[in-house]
């Protein structure tokens, strides 16, 4: 890495091309998100402009939640109002933005096969993967705190553009909250409800239906099963059942 440049290497040229396509789509349709600029795309690596910042912490939750809500509302207005959660979205590059349902059904099957989840746990979450055809569509950026840098002026900058898919509104916020709890321990009382209010404000301003607390908690349970293989590594220190918000934490 040279000064001012961060180079990320990818397992294949296709993966690098996909990340570049994700960056271009976010830059066009989710402009409230700040992204590191792409300086050059090579066969299997991308040179990004270096961002001087720290990873997001619990104290940044409301700021990141609000930025995520603005980005989701903007992407819906710009492009995703015609999208469907079970259908890939074509990108200008000729690649697709993956749908919400297919990769998560495959991942849940893998979790069951590897013993990370029981058949009962998987079946209980399947309704979340049978969305109504008219359900409004946002995107999933894997907004965990290690993929968000906080700049000197407190503004969030999103990095790591590998995992971008369609998703229901609130799904990526649930990942942020679950990952913060699994990384730092149970979140302070009211964090879930305050973060949801910050996220919902730009949705309401755009005449979108706000996400309910029940929906947010359901999405967190889906993330829990999908995250189980990473417990104990990658910053996931606390099992979700130990840090899941109790009813008194949701006041």
What's the pTM?
0.95
pLDDT at 154: 87
Domain count, the chain: 1
Contact 148, 158 (CB under 8 A): yes
Split the chain (251 residues) into runs of 10 and give each run's mean pLDDT.
Answer: 80 93 95 92 94 94 97 97 96 92 96 94 94 94 93 89 94 97 95 97 97 96 95 92 88 68
Q: Identify whether 48 is part of a domain.
A: no
Q: Identify whether 193 is part of a domain.
A: yes
CA distance 166 to 138: 6
pLDDT at 111: 95
Q: Identify whether 90 is part of a domain.
A: yes
Q: Identify whether 195 is part of a domain.
A: yes
Q: Identify whether 220 is part of a domain.
A: yes
pLDDT (tens digit per residue) in 83-131:
999 999 999 888 899 999 999 999 999 999 999 999 999 999 999 999 9
Q: Identify whether 175 is part of a domain.
A: yes
CA distance 16 to 68: 24
Q: Identify whether 121 is part of a domain.
A: yes
Q: Identify whether 91 is part of a domain.
A: yes
The secondary structure of residue 135, as a DSSP letter, is -
Let me know how many helices (H) and strands (E) the chain has, helices first: 8, 10
pLDDT at 3: 57
Domain hosting 233: range is 53-250
Look up the CATH number of the domain holding residue 130: 3.90.1200.10
């Amino acid at each position: 890495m040279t000064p001012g440049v961060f180079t990320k290497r990818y397992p294949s040229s296709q993966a690098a091309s996909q990340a570049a396509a994700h960056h271009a789509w976010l830059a066009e349709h989710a402009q409230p998100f700040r992204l590191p600029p792409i300086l050059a795309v090579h066969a299997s690596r991308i040179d990004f402009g270096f961002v001087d910042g720290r990873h997001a912490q619990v104290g940044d939750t409301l700021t990141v939640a609000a930025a995520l809500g603005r980005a989701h509302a903007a992407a819906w207005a710009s492009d995703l109002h015609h999208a469907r959660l079970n259908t890939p979205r074509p990108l200008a590059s000729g690649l697709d933005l993956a749908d919400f349902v297919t990769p998560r059904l495959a991942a849940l099957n893998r979790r069951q096969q590897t013993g990370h989840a029981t058949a009962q746990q998987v079946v209980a979450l399947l309704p979340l993967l049978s969305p109504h055809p008219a359900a409004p569509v946002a995107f999933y950026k894997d907004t965990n705190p290690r993929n968000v840098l906080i700049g000197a002026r407190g503004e969030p900058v999103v990095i790591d553009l590998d995992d971008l898919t369609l998703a229901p509104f609130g799904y990526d916020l649930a990942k942020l909250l679950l990952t913060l709890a699994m990384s730092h321990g149970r979140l302070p009382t009211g964090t879930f409800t305050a973060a949801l209010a910050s996220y919902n404000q730009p949705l309401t301003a755009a005449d979108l239906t706000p996400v309910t607390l029940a929906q947010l908690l359901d999405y967190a349970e889906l993330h829990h099963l999908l995250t189980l293989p990473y417990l104990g590594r990658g910053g996931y220190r606390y099992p979700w059942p130990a840090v899941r918000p109790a009813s008194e934490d949701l006041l």
